Amino acid sequence: MLTGEGAEMQILVDADACPVVIREILYRAAQKRGTKLTLFANQSFQVPASPLISLYQVAKGPDMADHEIAARVTRGDLVITADIPLASEVLEKGALVVTPRGERHTANNIRQRLQMRDFMETMRASGQHAGGPPPLDQSDRKTFADQLDRLLTLAEKSL
């Protein structure tokens, strides 16, 4: 079962680093599926006027949105984040995790991804490696939309 006892899946988004095109896919999916969507960010931006969609503005500061998501997530929720430590924390609470590129974090792969993240952080600190991931492209958007659709369909079937 993907959701908590009797509860419907909700989507929680680490929105500060979530590309606008991915947020737009999420808005459409929430409306189409009747799924509650909450975006957490330390800056304000427009979201569609809908009882299903809300923006929760957190205090300024590092990881404030992450802390709020971790505090509110429940078993079976879907979290959208590129933050690997946050992904690890919400997986422990029984949530599902997808990056804005459509990659699924699971209990089976999160430890390896945490180790790679730590390794890359060490490389950057030593000046050996600079830069981040490449810009989001059309195939990333499609991968995300397909993964989102797959997980929302599974959640609906489990109710």
Distances (CA, A) of 14 to 30, 68, 128, 133, 159: 16, 10, 29, 17, 26
Task: Identify the pLDDT of residue 113.
Answer: 66
Q: Tokens 């990333």 label which residue? A: 140
Predicted pLDDT of residue 123: 63
Question: Would you kindly state where each structural domain of the chain is located, as residue ranges?
Answer: 11-131+138-153
For the chain, give the number of residues.
159
State the Cα–Cα distance between residues 99 and 110, nearest whole angstrom: 12
**CATH 3.40.50 for the 11-131+138-153 domain, yes or no:** yes
What is the reported pLDDT for 157? 83
The per-residue pLDDT string of the chain (159 residues; one tens digit each, 9 = 90 and over) reads 344 444 689 999 999 889 999 999 999 999 999 999 999 999 999 999 999 999 999 998 888 999 999 999 999 999 999 888 999 999 999 999 999 999 998 877 777 766 665 666 766 667 666 666 778 899 999 999 999 999 999 888 876
